[in-house]
Amino acid sequence: MINYLIGDVTNPIGQGKKIIVHCCNDVGLWGSGVVLAISKKWKQPEKEFKSLSISENIIGNTQIVLVEDDIFVANIIGQHNIHENEFRVPPIRYEAILVGLKKVVELAKSTDATIHMPRIGCFRAGGRWSIMEKVIESVVENIDVYVYDFNAGEGYYK
């Protein structure tokens, strides 16, 4: 079940273990979007992402980084061709997000964690929430998912 709320995804609500999910690119760039808020609070997700070798920085790969005793950050590589291309195809790759979310769901089930995210893939990556919502719903059975909008839809992902 997806729950929508206004707030900061780096301050996830609730008790117990939490997994913060976000979407990364496959060229190793980290510097815009929700990663700015993540890096401001925790250094390890960025460090882990930047440590990926070229062969590891592939679409669908997912890093799970423990940042606090009860909080993980999932770096899902779900963007390809982030630089403008002649066909103006957005960099979001829904199938890669699906692959990454399956790994996140495995962790959530094994640790009884909830999942927290911004509207992943729908700002910098150019995705459509109507599609992403279906991707998420297709894999998160019986897990509470919280989607955070900051200031009623205004992005802090700049």
Q: What is the pLDDT of residues 96-141, one digit of tens each?
A: 999 999 999 999 999 999 999 999 999 888 899 999 999 999 999 8
Residue position matching structure tokens 């640790």 = 111
Q: Tell me, what DSSP letter sits at residue 22?
A: E
Per-residue pLDDT of 13-46, as tens digits, reads: 999 999 999 999 999 999 888 999 999 999 999 9
Identity of the residue numbered 39: S
pTM: 0.92
Phi and psi at 94, nearest 5°, equal -60, -40
Task: Please give the Cα distance from 139 to 126 (Å, whole number).
Answer: 22
At residue 2, the pLDDT reads: 96
Task: Please give the Cα distance from 138 to 27 (Å, whole number).
Answer: 27
- Biggest distance spanned by C-alpha atoms of the chain: 47
Tell me what percent of the residues of the chain surpass a pLDDT of 70.
94
What is the average pLDDT value for the chain, to the nearest integer? 91
Above 50 in pLDDT, residue 156?
A: no
Determine contact, residues 74/21, Cβ cutoff 8 Å. yes
Determine contact, residues 106/12, Cβ cutoff 8 Å. no
Phi and psi at 92, nearest 5°, equal -60, 140
Q: If you average pLDDT over residues 144-158, what whole number do you get?
A: 70
| Domains, the chain | 2-7+15-149 (3.40.220.10)
pLDDT band at 158 (very low <50, low <70, confident <90, very high): very low
